[in-house]
Amino acid sequence: MPEVLETSQQHRRLVLKALLWLTVWGGLVFGAVNVGREMWLLAGLEIIYAVFALGLLRIVDTTPHLRMWTLIYLFPFFALMTFALVLPRTSFTVFAWIQTVPIICYLLLGLRGGLWMSLGFLSLGVVAFNYRYMTDDSWLNIMVAANVGLSSAAILLFSHIYERSRVANEARLLELASTDTLTGLANRMKLAEVFQRERSHALRDNTPLSLIILDLDHFKHVNDQFGHEGGDRALRHIAQLLPQRLRDTDLFCRLGGEEFAILLPGADLAQAAERANNLRELLAEHPPQIAEASQVMTFSAGVATLGEDGQSLDSLMVIADRRMYEAKGGGRNQVVAAGQQYHLAPMSSGR
């Protein structure tokens, strides 16, 4: 979803900004300390990188190429950590920064990018640490290598598990947020998302895009006669029945109550109206079973198309809804599209 992707991007911008500020102040402080220790090369690199991070802070909020700049920042950042670790006069505590690599990578690059960059630089860091602090005691070397390697692997593993679980939970929440819980159909939020995508395709390819709004006739009578359980059964029946005459590219949504919407990419007004009429006939042929008996059920529908009836989802919904009410006012059990009516013979139940 565009809103979710934007939220994720904004989160990564905030994380990167925090890291950049940390780099600025850390680079200046450690650079000054290493100047005092006469470690000129390392001090120079740290100060230069602090200035580079300060420059990135000016664009991080607005750049459309956030991932590219993140990679440009991270490669030298992690390389500088590894370089500092192998210098003879630096402290072993530099390795503590190496172990932040998986956390930073997963926060900024996601699951796949975070895994590969973490594996690469964490492996280099472990090798550099063991090379730097190798002693004449082989058993001690083995112990140091095992502790450093296993602790680093644990951080990488837990970071990966957390990010994978977070991605799965986010996907599940998105699915729940865009799905009607009773029928399993898409909801209004999903309709808005798909409409934006299909509208872009329709305008680019000069193809039609239509919307059907349908409302079940006298649905309150069903609830009054059979209770909400009977009404819910009827709604689920419709959610399973009508998609049988829809294409895979069509989107069938429940807007709320007994009102539904169908988005039809590639269908003009006449084609969409004919599709709606076919669906109405299908429902007449296969009524829902409630209280062990078939219950006659009909719907009234209105149709609107992109361009002729508006350019936004809201404008199409207003027109389609207005035509649906025209169908209701004209006797129900019919489809109205720009003055054309499609209808069946009156049902014996009168509903």
Residues 6+ apart with CB under 8 A from 325: 302
Give the count of beta carbons closer than 10 Å to the beta carbon of residue 105: 27
Closest CA to 215 of 63, 306, 336: 336
Give the count of beta carbons closer than 10 Å to the beta carbon of residue 348: 7
CA 74 – CA 102 distance, rounded (Å):
12
**Residue 1 corresponds to which tokens in the numbers above?**
């979803």
Q: Please indicate whether residue 258 is annotated as part of the active site.
A: yes
CB 305 within 8 A of CB 209: yes
Q: What residues form DSSP beta bridges with 294?
A: 289
Helix axes 2-36, 66-86, angle to 10 degrees: 30
Cα atoms found within 13 Å of the Cα of residue 74, Cβ hemisphere only: 28
Three-class DSSP category at 299 = strand
Which single residue is written with the structure tokens 């069509």?
A: 250
- From residue 90, alpha-carbon distances to 108, 140, 174, 276 in Å are 28, 21, 47, 75
CA 30 – CA 50 distance, rounded (Å):
10
CB 317 within 8 A of CB 250: no
Which single residue is written with the structure tokens 């139940």?
A: 349
Active-site residue (options: 46, 163, 193, 258): 258
Give the count of beta carbons closer than 10 Å to the beta carbon of residue 243: 16
**Residue 326 corresponds to which tokens in the numbers above?**
């025209």
Task: Just list the catalytic residues.
Answer: 258
